[in-house]
Amino acid sequence: MKLNELVRELEMDVKSAVQNLSREVSGGYASDLLSDVMAHADKDYLWVTLQIHQNIVAVAVLKELAGIVIVNGRQPEQETLAKAESEGVPILGTQLATFEIVGRLYGLGLRGRM
């Protein structure tokens, strides 16, 4: 499924890198620990987190993630958005809690590592 389809289906807000919303998403990972994401998320995964600092962009670039979803209506820091734009990393926002958005992503067919 493509990022733009997920944005539309789940009514997420696009915060950065709108030009990369046609990227294919192969799965998902939810964690707020950067080291956990670095150890377990796979390329082209969508990462669900409540973190808003610019280190999330570095992890997304390192792991070649399809994008980042920030939950609970939290707003990314300005430096985070600037870094995401320069690196081409889509940051999406949702008012939903992690449990709820992960359930909906699962319902749309996204899976994690088996």
CA-closest candidate to residue 33, choices 15, 53, 7, 51: 51
Instruction: List Cβ<8 Å contacts ≥24 apart for 29-32.
Output: 29/112, 29/113, 30/98, 30/102
Give the dihedral of Cα atoms 8, 13, 82, 36; nearest 10 deg: -80
Q: Where exactly are the structural domains of the chain?
A: 3-107
CA neighbours within 13 Å on the CB side: how many for 87?
A: 24
Element (H, E) at 103: helix 98-107
The partner residues of 4 in beta bridges, in order of sequence, read none
Q: What angle do CA 90, 44, 5 make, to 5 degrees?
A: 60
pLDDT at 114: 64
Fold (topology level) of 3-107: 3.40.1390
To the question of pTM greater than 0.85 for the whole model, the response is yes
- pLDDT digits over 12-69, tens only? 999 999 999 999 999 999 999 999 999 999 999 999 999 999 999 999 999 999 999 9
Q: Which residues, at least 6 apart from 62, have a Cβ–Cβ distance to it below 8 Å? A: 38
